Amino acid sequence: MRSIASLVFAGGLAFLLLVVAMQLGFGDPVMRVGGDILARAPDAVGANNIVAAVLFGYRGIDTMGELAILFAAATTAGLVLTHRRDEPADPERNDPPGGFIMRSGTDLLFPLLLVVGFYIIAHGHLTPGGGFQGGVILASAFFVLVLARPARGINHTAIAVIEGLAGAGFIGIGLWALWGEGEFLAPVLSKGVLGELLSAGAFPLLSLAVGLKVGAELAGLMAQLSEQPIDPEESE
């Protein structure tokens, strides 16, 4: 019966997709909103990167929802991993560090990844990139640090503070725009000169808030994974 139900569901889904595809006019734009945004966004928000304008302006509430989903996923994973521990984490645990090449490479890559991450975040309104991409790079910097020196770990309190302040900053800028312009996350501050670093109003600040929040959440999740005790029987 389960196989028959799966077959009926797959057939119904295929029929639905076929009907939807037959209704589409291939070769003609299905939606014209994208064209209007491409034409008006540079002058309206002062950002070269139209994707950033969409993320932080035209659909900023959706971006806040994505951050909320990421926060919920990281928090849930952290709670599950914490409860899986049979005993509290030992600060004096003697996990073997990485080899000489790993540790030397980390000493070089860690500051480099931080610089690249913040560069991509700061230039998100000018070039492809932004808070999400830069935040992942920031998290990877701490990931290689944990791989090279697992006993050192990551300060979870600092990560939680950064994550909370970043999220509050994103919401605060949106409320500021709501109070001043009448619309949540509407462009505030001076748009500046198109193509310059100090332009696009508050978009660079929004990108920084997203980058710090994404980086802190992923770094915290990686730290939780690295701190899980190893079962000797499983390792064998």
Segment 124-179, tens digit of pLDDT: 989 888 899 999 999 999 888 888 887 777 788 888 889 889 999 999 998 888 88
pLDDT at 25 over 70: no
The pLDDT score that the predictor gives to residue 92 is 47
Helices 131-148 & 100-122 angle (0-180, nearest 10): 170
**What is the Cα–Cα distance from 213 to 209, expressed in whole angstroms?**
6
The pLDDT score that the predictor gives to residue 140 is 92
User: Number of C-alpha atoms within 13 angstroms, CB side, residue 210?
Assistant: 30
Helices (H) and strands (E) in the chain, counts: 9, 0
What mean pLDDT value characterizes the chain? 81
**What is the Cα–Cα distance from 111 to 130, expressed in whole angstroms?**
19
From residue 216, give the alpha-carbon distance in Å to each of 86, 157, 226, 234.
Answer: 26, 11, 15, 30
b/e burial code for range 167-182 (CB count within 10 A of at least 16 → b): bebbeebbebbeeeee
The candidate with the shortest Cα–Cα distance to 130, out of 67, 65, 36, 193, is 67
Reduced to 3 states (helix: H, G, I; strand: E, B; else coil), residue 26 is coil
The pLDDT score that the predictor gives to residue 101 is 83
**What is the Cα–Cα distance from 120 to 211, expressed in whole angstroms?**
9
The pLDDT score that the predictor gives to residue 122 is 92
The candidate with the shortest Cα–Cα distance to 170, out of 42, 45, 67, 59, is 67
The candidate with the shortest Cα–Cα distance to 45, out of 212, 185, 211, 209, is 185
The candidate with the shortest Cα–Cα distance to 63, out of 218, 215, 214, 222, is 214
Q: Do residues 147 and 98 lie in contact, with contact meaning Cβ atoms separated by under 8 Å?
A: yes
Mean pLDDT over residues 14-41, rounded?
A: 76
Higher pLDDT, 93 or 116: 116
Banded model confidence at residue 2, pLDDT cuts 50, 70, 90: low
Segment 182-226, tens digit of pLDDT: 778 877 888 888 888 888 888 899 999 999 999 998 988 887 777
- Tokens of residue 100, six digits: 């000489």
The candidate with the shortest Cα–Cα distance to 89, out of 188, 22, 41, 156, is 156
Dihedral sign for Cα atoms in the order 14, 20, 24, 30: negative
Higher pLDDT, 225 or 118: 118
